[in-house]
Amino acid sequence: MRDLAAILRAGLAGTQAPAISIDARLAQFAMVRHRVGPIVGAVAARDGLSVSTEAAEMFRIDADANKDVRARMKVLTLRVAGAFAAAGIPMLFFKGQSVADRLYPVPGWRDVRDADVLVPPASLGPATRALERVGFALSDPLFALPGFVQPAMMRAIRDLHFHDPAADHLFEVHSRLLFSRGLSARLLADDPSLRPRPLASGGALPVPDIGPGFAHYLLLHGCVSGWSRLKWMADLVPLFAKLDDAGRRQLAEFAQGAGTAAAVKASLILAREAFGELALGPLENWIDEDAGTAAVQTRLKTYAAWLNAPMAGGSPLNSRMASLKSAQFLHDGRLAQLWLLPSGGVSAAFRTLGKWSKRYASPRA
């Protein structure tokens, strides 16, 4: 883990990477476990690190695959944007390629797997119909459910899964940024650039501003995922380099106001330990005020355990109980943890019913 973090830090800071030897095992750990293969392979080649023949070939294949995915994602996002614009549906493209293009010194260094678009909750149904009209495959098992169930389903779920035959890749349409409706609403209230909006007249895709609101969202997304992958933590390095002191102070104000300060502080401590110096500025004192408290330390130890685990098993990515725990960790207060619990269990129940329905019903026409 420390070797990977050191290589990432060198790439993102533009410094020389330490003399680390990379074998096939470390390459596999970088590519599969932490999804940082493209940047590790590129920095290793740039800085002349010792890389085994097998590892070098693995990095080459991974970089080519990432390049291909990025090209297909551009086709996909333009098709989605066109379908939504024609239907008058506001949209926001976030995470994934948007992060790579605007934060990374070389966009191809960031591993991209899918695309994510946010629409208003009331537009989830119309968005589905708009995509159907232009030939998108509705791969989510939810669509196997009877029609009378779907209005309730649309109100409960956060995202829907689609397959784009033209780009041959998956993407997700979200109705909120996080499983917690309360926190999602708070994020949009604090930063209007996180709200879906119509496609601009010039055709530029709607994306969030790089600022404290987006930083708060990326931190909370990492918390919900238990910081199980180094890829998400690496995003913080170029992100904080783009924030000025006023933006960093505003991030602290957002976290305090939303009741997410303990999770944010634990995340930044872990990132500071992984990458050394971060451009935290006035956040250093804010973090250190409560660094030793039980609320921060409990989160920090759990996040660190998930990040350092040999495989992702038992993390929020693969475990329902771990996912519930990571969601509760977002909130400082215990009452808020109960009040704002995610509705992911309802979504999971609907998807389970959908999978069962597929056994007895033909796919949607």
**Residue 225 structure tokens:** 């995922």
Q: How many CB atoms lie within 10 A of CB 245?
A: 12
Going from N- to C-terminal start, the domains of the chain cover 72-360
Each residue's pLDDT expressed in tens, for the chain with a length of 365 residues: 889 999 999 999 899 999 999 999 999 999 999 999 999 999 999 999 999 999 999 999 999 999 999 998 888 888 899 999 999 999 999 988 889 999 999 999 999 988 899 999 999 889 988 998 888 877 666 666 666 766 776 677 788 888 877 777 778 899 999 988 889 999 999 999 999 999 887 778 999 999 999 999 999 999 999 999 999 999 999 999 999 999 999 999 999 999 999 999 999 999 999 998 788 999 999 999 999 999 999 999 999 999 988 877 778 888 878 888 888 888 888 766 666 554 455 555 555 555 555 555 544 43
Q: Token pair of 166, please? A: 């033209």
CA of 152: how far to CAs of 132, 155, 300, 347, 352, in Å?
Answer: 20, 5, 37, 10, 15
pLDDT at 120: 95
Locate 75 and state its tokens.
């086709």
Tokens representing 296? 């921060």
Tokens of 295: 């609320």
Cα→Cα distances 207→106, 213, 326, Å: 19, 12, 26
Q: What's residue 52's pLDDT?
A: 97
- Tell me: the pLDDT tens digits for 325-348? 888 888 888 766 666 554 455 555
Is residue 194 within 8 Å of 200, Cβ to Cβ? no
Q: Quick one: pLDDT at residue 46?
A: 96
Q: Which residue has the tokens 């680390």?
A: 20
**So what's the pLDDT on residue 362?**
46
Q: What is the pLDDT of residue 365?
A: 36
Largest CA distance in the chain: 61
| Cα-to-chain-centroid distance, residue 364 | 30
